[in-house]
Amino acid sequence: MSKHIAIAVFPGFQVLDLVVVTVFEVANASAGEERYKVSLVSEHGGPVRSSSGVPVTTEPFGDPAAYDTVLVGGAMEMLEYSPGLLGFLRQASVSARRTGSICSGAFVLGRAGLLDGKRATTHWAHARELQKLHPKARVEEDCIFIEDGNLWTSAGMTACIDLALALVEKDFGVELARQVARKMVVYHRRSGGQSQFSALLELEPKSDRIQRALNYAKSNLKKELSVDELADAAHLSRRQFSRSFRLETGQSPARAVETLRVEAARDMIESGRLPIDLVARESGFADPERMRRAFVRAYGQPPQAIRRAARQSA
């Protein structure tokens, strides 16, 4: 049976959030039948201009009970939201099977009073402001998406793809979600509890040579990864490499490698059932105690606490 998805937009919305439409479109193509019907809806219908100036055509809000899922997108800046939009979302939270937000759309849900007593996430840059505005919510700033009952929220920008893939998986199974991810040339969706941050993005190397060394390190975390080995990967002398690496990333090679190892270990801990000692070996730590110390430095808590949190979230 086809599921009707309504995506609510408003003047000044962020057009990137509409990439979720493609996830549902590809799900239909992969299944060979209409699994999803998608409607863009707004308070009055007609053209609605995004923050980039690109307009989209919308239908007026319908009866929320007619929709399986109602999602609301975000905006590049905080806006005033109309009583009509907020009222529609309140009704949808009761009548539709699921209600959710993309990126800073969580602020719209908050204004509608839908976050109280709920776990939620949003773009990491706005998470603390969301928590401040809605103290009765439990805002988790480092999650890709969160499902709390019939309320779904996602992190910023492209995390909406992970949210949509999770909805497809929930509705029609993991295999269809995998097919969609492959066709969209994205990783099969990141787990909801996975960090919004990427160590490689945080390091931001300026040159191809330092980027090459980091890529080599990420692909060979089980090796010792000495400075000489990384310098060879960058085709630089040890002295040139060490100086350039610190100038470009602000870190020593050893600290950067530890960051990559911690990120890889956290992914394994959150998404699998490998014993902690095996995770330590697979991510290149000499022993679990060394990994524990690295986790405390990076996250303020040991691997076991992160595994417990991931299981509770699941």
Distance in angstroms between the alpha carbons of the first and the last residue of the chain: 27
Considering all CA atoms of the chain, what is the largest pairwise distance in Å, rounded to the nearest integer? 67
Side chain identity, residue 8: A
Asked whether the CA dihedral 251, 253, 254, 259 is positive or negative, the reply is positive
Query: Which among 26, 102, 103, 213 is annotated as catalytic?
Result: 103
Contact between 61 and 90 (Cβ < 8 Å): no
Tokens of 298: 């990076």
Nearby residues of 223 by Cβ (< 8 Å), 6 or more positions away: 229, 284
How far is it, in rounded angstroms, from Cα 192 to Cα 176? 18
The string over 6-33, giving b where at least 16 C-beta atoms fall within 10 Å of a residue's C-beta and e elsewhere, is: bbbbbebbbbbbbebbebbebbbebeee
Distant-in-sequence, close-in-space partners of 62: CB < 8 Å, separation ≥ 6: 6, 39, 41
Cα distance between residue 180 and residue 29, in whole Å: 9
Active site residue 103: yes
Q: How far is residue 62's CA from residue 206's CA, in Å, rounded to a whole number?
A: 50
Show which residues are catalytic: 103
